[in-house]
Amino acid sequence: MRDHTHLLRILGVIFGLAAVVGSVIGQGILRSPGVVANATGSPAIIIGLWVAGALVSCLLALPFIELSAAIPRAGGPFAFIHRAYGGKVSVVAMFAMMIGNFASMAYFAIVVGEFLVRLGVGGGEVSPILFGMAVLLICALLNATGTRASGFTQIMFSSLKGVVLLALVIALFASDGVVQQATDAAPLRQGWGAFGTAIVVVLTTYAGWWNVSAYGEEIENPGRAMPRALLGGIAGVAVIYLLINLAMLHVMTPDQMAGSELVAADAAGIVLGPQANFALTCFGVLSVGAIANLGLMTYTRLTFAAARAGIFPQALAHVSAGGTPLRAMMLVVVASALLLLTGSYLALVSLGETIFLPVMIAVSVAVITLRKKEPQLDRPWRVPFYPFSIHAGIFVTAALLVVYIAQDPFYSLAGFVLVGICWLGFQISHWLRGRTGIASAEIEDWE
């Protein structure tokens, strides 16, 4: 009989690419160009910032690629950190990831609900919260069909998002170009502060590529597929982002972009007229809905990994015949629904972004640690220019952490306190059950 504590290795590199594209491309690319144009009036610098965002994302992805290929286990970063440092640190890392996961699902669900209300669905009688609950249920039903079916669904969603964005690019390039040139082509419009904000916004728009590492146990031939999925996915996103920005610059000046809160709507309005808002709202339903579906699939794998390791109840570490950890999935759905009702998800999403950065640093350091600790470990793919590229990635991530904390000290520091409380609760629960060992002693050897 099949072991119901292990996932099915039935996903391919196409799913990996779709997971990266689906996790990264959302509403950010429709809004962020305005922030970037507000920082610089130079079209060349605008495009350069988006190219730099792709290059930095590839740099940060390098340790994830090496470890995803060498340690293809469910949970991604959790598995890497556990292998490198043991139980205590991996428990802290898991709580850091889980805090934002449940909140993100609630956030995605209610955003889709708000888009549906804006479209007039329900005739004004249905609230965004109720729509959000329906979104969670639909995503759960799609994921319950099994890994193969839910993976195919995600490929279709990601492909459709790409097609819609490319159609917008084609429509913008087919229209007449700008007549009036930008009056302010200054490299820095608002000083270095605004320029730094633009850099952070661009990097945030590329965020989410790491989610594919959670599927290491389910992707066939991860040694070859993971590098292709991560690097290929980031490259694909970069191409789409560059085309969108070039198309917007074709119909709008940097000055016009800088004065817009939603550049994509204004650019689409040139082609579609009054129907632009309706079209982009429909795209919002598709885009965020696809992210919610993939988010549930990803966060279910993280919850499953935590249960199999002994952090959550072992009952959640059960895999259905179709390959879906249904019990772990239901925990994600229920927790997300409760956050949706309480309205506390926005604060958790904010602090979750900050507390994940130390996890990224820990993954980078894990590459160095495991190179020394396990030199014999089979590494189908190795980080190039080691260790300089790893050190550079750590420096960039640490700089982003400083910026995040400086921008919002309360929520950023509150995130670390919340992680500490969760870890303490984990220790107390083991003590109440008569287990006196430290966390690392309680996590079973599941490598």
Q: Pick 241 or 432 by higher pLDDT.
A: 241
Tell me which of 309 and 176 has the higher pLDDT. 309
Between 348 and 225, the higher pLDDT residue: 225
Structure tokens, 416:
């670390």
Q: How many CB atoms lie within 10 A of CB 130?
A: 15
pLDDT of the residue at 442: 40
Q: Which of 142, 135, 172, 170 is nearest to 156 (CA)?
A: 142
- Give tens-digit pLDDT for 255-300: 888 878 788 888 888 888 888 888 888 998 999 999 999 999 999 9
Length reported for the chain:
447
184 has a pLDDT exceeding 80 = no
The secondary structure of 176-221 as a DSSP string is ---SSPPS---S-SS-HHHHHHHHHHHHHHTTTGGGGGGBTTTBSS
Interacting residues of 125 by C-beta distance below 8 A, sequence separation 6+: none
Placement of tokens 């609900």 in the chain:
113
Is there a domain that residue 218 lies in? yes
Residue 127 lies in a domain: yes
Exposure letters 349-369 (e unless 16+ CB within 10 A, then b)? bbbbbbbbbbbbbbbbbbbbb
In a domain, 7, yes or no: no
pLDDT digit string, tens, across residues 95-115: 999 998 998 999 999 999 999
Residue 146, CB-side half-sphere exposure with 13 Å CA sphere: 8
Q: What is the spatial distance between Cα 51 and Cα 73, in angstroms, rounded to a whole number?
A: 31
Helix boundaries (H) for 374-435: 388-407, 409-432
Higher pLDDT, 64 or 191: 64
- How many other CB atoms are found less than 10 A from the CB of residue 417? 11
Name the residue among 413, 400, 311 with its Cα closest to residue 57: 400
| pLDDT tens digits for range 353-396 | 899 999 999 999 999 999 999 999 999 999 999 999 999 999 99
Instruction: Please state, in angstroms and rounded to a whole number, the distance separating the CA atoms of residues 354 and 263.
Output: 27
- Does a structural domain hold residue 3? no
CA dist 122 and 129 (Å) reads 13
438 has a pLDDT exceeding 80: no
Q: Would you say residue 23 has pLDDT above 90? A: yes
Structural domain span for residue 47: 13-442
Asked if 93 contacts 77 with a C-beta cutoff of 8 angstroms, the reply is yes
Tell me the average pLDDT across 304-326: 92
Range with lowest mean pLDDT among 127-141, 298-312, 404-418: 404-418
The answer to the question of residue 395 being in a domain is yes
| pLDDT at 447 (0 to 100) | 45
Identify the pLDDT of residue 443.
46
CA 447 to chain centre: 25
Average pLDDT over residues 202-214: 94
Domain containing residue 239: CATH number: 1.20.1740.10
pTM: 0.92
Burial code (b: 16+ CB inside 10 Å, e: under 16) for 229-264 equals bbbbbbebbbebbebbbbbbbbbbbbbbbbebebbb
Tell me which amino acid residue 15 is: F
Query: What mean pLDDT is reported for the chain?
Result: 89
What residue has token string 């839910």?
A: 150
**For tokens 């917007």, what's the residue?**
248
As given in the structure block, the two tokens for residue 137 are: 């249920």
Tell me whether residue 423 is in a domain.
Answer: yes
Q: What is the mean pLDDT of residues 26-45?
A: 88
Within a domain: 107: yes
- pLDDT band for position 398 (cuts 50, 70, 90): very high
Please say if the pLDDT value at position 191 is more than 80.
no
Percent of the chain with pLDDT over 90: 65
Give me the number of domains the chain comprises: 1
More confident position, 445 or 71? 71
Across 148-174, average pLDDT: 93
In a domain, 100, yes or no: yes
pLDDT band at residue 428 under the 50/70/90 scheme: confident
